[in-house]
Copies of this chain bind each other. A is one copy, B any other.
Amino acid sequence: MKGIKPSWNNLIFVVSAPSGAGKTTLCDKLQTEFKDIHYAVTATTRAPRDGEIDGKSYYFMTREGFEKRLAEGGFIEHAVVHGNLYGSPKAPVVAALEEGCDVLMNLDVQGAATVRDTLTALPDGDPLKHTLVDIFVVPPSTEVLRNRLVIRGTDSLEVIEKRMKQAREEISHWKDYSYMVVNDDLAEAYDNMRAIILAERHRIENRREAYHA
């Protein structure tokens, strides 16, 4: 699709979810279906883990490199988590939008709030100024979420309780989003995710040009 301008003004989709809600699986499926969406990769100063690929899992950066880029205004949003820096590099997002692609950003509740405020504050004509469509993916209940984390078996019960507390805090922000998808059945949740993307592309207010019959 690169080079062909679509019929809509390109959109920035933001997907947030508490840990264990199935966001990664859903976004991977979107990536398989929608080749005309640019999937924004997060930059981080933390060390790569086994199997993580630079430029795909994350952009792995030195602290100096990250801080230099930050000082230059090179991140749309950034945060410090457990002493490591994380951020969304601006340049690949702007490049994708200028190529006529939509962008999908995978952000936590705090990151989504920052991007929302940043985009609103941008002056018209700024290359990053595009309509944001934010989607919150939630589990059917916190009990289901807890069960999923227990079954996954990667965390101790103590860590699970910490994740649950964080999940409840994140879920309390559900009203800040435009859409909410409850991930009970994966196929159904995916169908709803892709529906939101297709529908937004057909909203009159997102249309690039007038319709001349």
Residue ranges of A at the interface with B (Cβ–Cβ < 8 Å): 7, 136, 138-139, 141-142, 145, 167-168, 171, 174-175, 177-182, 191-192, 194-205, 207, 211, 213
Contacts and interface: CB of A to CB of B under 8 A. Distances in A.
B203 A171 contact: no
A198 B192 contact: yes
Contacts of A168: 213
Contact of A204 (B171, B175, B195, B203): B175
Nearest to A176: B204
Nearest to A136: B204
How many copies of this chain does one complex carry? 2
A191 B202 CA distance: 12
For A181, A199, A203, the residue with the greatest tally of chain B CB atoms inside 10 Å of its CB is A199
A160 B52 CA distance: 62
8 closest A-B pairs by CB: A199-B199, A195-B198, A195-B195, A171-B213, A196-B199, A142-B213, A195-B199, A179-B202
Nearest to A201: B192
A198 B202 contact: no
Contacts of A138: 211, 213
B194 A207 contact: no
A171 B192 CA distance: 29
A57 B168 CA distance: 50
A191 B205 CA distance: 20
14 contacts: A138-B213, A167-B213, A177-B204, A179-B202, A180-B204, A180-B207, A180-B211, A195-B195, A195-B197, A195-B198, A196-B198, A196-B199, A198-B199, A199-B199
A179 B204 contact: yes
Contacts of A204: 136, 174-175, 177-180
Given A180-B204, A192-B202, A195-B195, 16 more contacts: A136-B204, A139-B213, A142-B213, A168-B213, A171-B213, A175-B204, A178-B204, A180-B202, A191-B198, A192-B198, A194-B195, A195-B196, A195-B197, A195-B199, A195-B202, A199-B199
